[in-house]
Structures are given as C-alpha cells and as structure tokens.
C-alpha cells in the first residue's frame, strides 16, 4: 500500500475517531430528556467511554510498535461500528455504559498507532500531522450537527445507529484494500520520514517531561471544552438555539471554522520549532478562555470560535516534538504515554463537569479553571530548549558518534 493510500485511510480514521467520541456529549441532552435524568446524571453515564479510552491507549501503543498498524486501524473501524450499534439498542443505563466503554476501547487505537504512522510516512511531519488533525477536527464538527439532526428527527438512538453502519462499510473497504495489497505480493512502499534529531539524554528527558505536563493540562482544556460546548450553547444561547439541532449546528460551526487552524501551525513548526509556537498559542488560549467564561447570548458563539481555533491550532505541537526527538522504534509507545495522561484527564473531566454542574458551579467557573490550565502549559513550554540549543546539542551528539574523517594522504 502506497504512503498516499495509507495516509488517506489514517485521515479517515482520525475523522471517525473524533466523530464517535463527540456523539455522546451532544446526544446526552436528548438522553437526559428521554430517560428523565438531569444533565449531570446523564453525562456521568459517559464516564466508561473516557476511562477506557484512556486506559486502552498504552496497550494500543505497544501493539502499534509490535504489529501491523494498518490492521490495527482496520480493527478500530469494525470495533467502532459494532459498539455504536450496541449503544443504539441499549435497553437501560447499564447497557448504555457497556456500549460506551466498548466505543472507548476501539477509539483508543487511533492516536498512538495512527499518529506514529503519520510521522513515519511523511518527510514533512508538521504538515502531515496538521492535515491529519484537520480531519479529526472535522469529525468533531460533523458529529455535533449530525447528532442533533438525527436525534431531533428520529431519536437519539439513530445518532449511533446510522454512523455505526457507515463505519462498518468503511471497514470493509479498508479490509479489501489491505487484502488486495497482500495478494499482489509487492514490496510495501514506505516513505522515509525525517531523521530523529540526536540530542543528549538530559535534553530528551526535559522535552518529554514538558510533553507529559502539556498532555495533562491541555487534556483538561481540550476535553473540557469539546465535551461541555454543546451544553454551554444550550444554556447561553436561549432562544437563538431552542432545539438540539440548533445547539449542534452552532457547535459544528465553531468546530468546522476552527478545524483548519492546524495547517499554518504545522508549517510553522517545521520552520521555527515547537517552543515559540507553543508559548504564543497557550497564552492566547488562556486569555480567550477567561473571556469566554463571561460571554453570554450571541457573544458566546464568536467567543467559543476564537477559543477553539487557538485550541485546535496547538494540537500538532506535542506530536511534532515526539516525531522530531523520539526514535521511531518506540514512537507509538511515546505517543501512547502522552495520550494516557491526556485522555486520563478526559476520563476525569466528565464526572468533574457533571459534579460541578450539579453543585451550582457553572461554566463561568469551569472555564476559568481551563484558563489556569493553559497558564500551566505556558510555564512548561518555557522550559523547552531553544532551537539553537537543540541544534548545537544535535551537532555535538553527532560529532561524538561519528568518527572523524581520515585525513587525505599526501602525494609527493
């Protein structure tokens, strides 16, 4: 399978991963009404989705380093489809939670496996990660609107049933493509990714430490905003969006417009490095989250749009750092460690939002906490080595590894 075909399937897989993760945060509004639950009680039913999504990431990364990545991606297609159909026919809250847990299990495959494959298949990892990230963002955008439309027209179960059938078809197409490639018995086409920069162990540890710190606190921001945004609009737009379709439509508008913010950032990373980009973006994220916490009525829409644009723009940074400074032989596990922390915060943020909301702490307070989290990421990013320091360290490391070239022999 050519690198272009592999990247195309990885882009589709990223789209579907995020699509299925955002069905529940939108559908939960209809589930709460259908089952006579409060928003907080209904949202808490989604805890298994995010807990298992986080816990399964590390073993998925191990599999990604030891097994064929394309077959794992195919497994995720079929698993997402089967889990979604199970949820559509769930009879009570227990079976709903079981289905959501299964959805999290198969969604966990993509990030450690797929992102590592993207960095290996492209010689411009910043650009490739940004393009791949756009597909993930569009998955978020599509889920909000499609879920609202399906839930209003046919009930919340259809919001899981229809995409479940679609992803099973995608899985079949992927399976036939892989088998056709295997049957041809041709050598696999592999693009040569960029060389990993050789730097001393102390600098590598510092870079990884910053990435893990960012994973924790950016996980709070990203998952907190994406999960709560439909309910934020439900509360603050009032007559502007009186139905779930309207809420989903505004959520989709925000995600869709912001989806392409990663493209210029990906190119910028390849040109100037991660430290200045990371600091600038998270300063902006902190400031705009603080403003959004106080935005009501129609002001909530442009406020959310600015926040999500900066938030999406920052997504390729840690992947770029890992792809640049971590050897490909264990890169899937490195991605998995990052996502375990990030998604671990996602699993914690769902019950936290539910608990805070139930006890009278609305999104004005919660979004200020997200802004503080962005401030912590800024402090961590300031500890990243500067590009010049990394270049000097790389040259020194190469000099210690490579023996000096022999002097030319003199001729008389």
**pLDDT value, residue 112:** 82
Domains of the chain with CATH codes: 3-400 (1.20.1250.20)
**pLDDT value, residue 94:** 93
pTM for the full predicted model: 0.69
Walking along the chain (412 residues) 10 residues at a time, the average pLDDT comes out as 83 94 89 89 87 84 79 93 96 93 93 82 76 86 88 94 96 88 53 53 78 87 85 82 80 83 80 86 94 88 91 84 68 72 72 80 87 93 75 55 48 39
**pLDDT value, residue 411:** 43
- What pLDDT digit, counting tens, does each position of 229-266 carry? 888 888 888 777 778 788 888 888 888 888 788 788 87
**pLDDT value, residue 144:** 83
Distance CA 182, CA 356 (A): 52
**pLDDT value, residue 281:** 93
**pLDDT value, residue 185:** 47
Q: Are 233 and 245 in contact (CB under 8 A)?
A: no
Helix or strand (DSSP H, E) at 246:
helix 244-258
Please, what sign has the CA dihedral across residues 61, 130, 150, 254?
positive
**pLDDT value, residue 409:** 46
Q: Are 26 and 244 in contact (CB under 8 A)?
A: yes
- Of residues 211, 223, 210, the one with CA closest to residue 366: 223
**pLDDT value, residue 84:** 96
């Amino acid at each position: 399978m050519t690198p272009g075909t592999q990247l195309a399937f990885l882009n589709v897989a990223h789209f579907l991963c995020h699509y299925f993760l955002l069905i529940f945060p939108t559908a939960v509004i209809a589930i709460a009404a259908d089952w006579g639950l409060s928003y907080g009680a209904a949202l808490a039913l989604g805890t298994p989705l995010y807990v298992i999504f986080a816990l399964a990431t590390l073993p998925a990364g191990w599999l990604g380093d030891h097994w064929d990545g394309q077959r794992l991606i195919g497994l995720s297609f079929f698993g997402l489809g089967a889990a979604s159909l199970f949820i559509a026919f769930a009879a009570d809250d227990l079976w709903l939670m079981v289905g959501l847990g299964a959805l999290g299990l198969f969604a966990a495959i993509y990030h450690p496996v797929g992102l590592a494959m993207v960095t290996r298949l492209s010689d411009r990892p910043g650009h490739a990660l940004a393009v791949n990230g756009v597909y993930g963002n569009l998955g978020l955008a599509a889920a909000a609107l499609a879920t609202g439309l399906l839930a209003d027209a046919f009930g919340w179960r259809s919001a899981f049933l229809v995409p479940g059938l679609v992803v099973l078809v995608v899985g079949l197409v992927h399976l036939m493509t892989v088998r056709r490639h295997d049957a041809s018995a041709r050598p696999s086409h592999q693009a040569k990714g960029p060389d990993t920069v050789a730097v001393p162990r102390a600098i590598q540890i510092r870079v990884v430490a910053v990435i893990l710190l960012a994973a924790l606190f950016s996980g709070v921001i990203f998952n907190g905003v994406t999960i709560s945004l439909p309910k934020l609009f439900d509360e603050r737009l009032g007559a502007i969006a009186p139905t779930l379709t309207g809420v989903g439509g505004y959520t989709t508008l925000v995600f869709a417009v912001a989806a392409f913010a990663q493209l210029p950032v990906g190119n910028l990373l390849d040109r100037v490095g991660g430290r200045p980009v990371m600091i600038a973006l998270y300063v902006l994220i902190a400031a705009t989250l603080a403003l959004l916490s106080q935005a009501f009525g129609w002001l909530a829409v442009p406020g959310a749009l600015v926040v999500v644009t900066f938030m999406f723009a920052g997504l390729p940074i840690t992947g770029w750092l890992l792809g640049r400074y971590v050897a490909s032989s264990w890169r899937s596990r490195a991605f998995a460690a990052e996502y375990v922390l990030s998604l671990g915060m996602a699993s914690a943020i769902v019950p936290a939002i539910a608990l805070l909301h139930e006890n009278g702490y609305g999104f004005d307070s919660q979004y200020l906490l997200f802004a503080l989290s962005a401030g912590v990421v800024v402090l961590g990013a300031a500890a990243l080595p500067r590009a010049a320091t990394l270049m000097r360290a790389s040259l020194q490391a190469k000099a210690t590894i490579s023996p000096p070239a022999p002097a030319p022999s003199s001729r008389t």
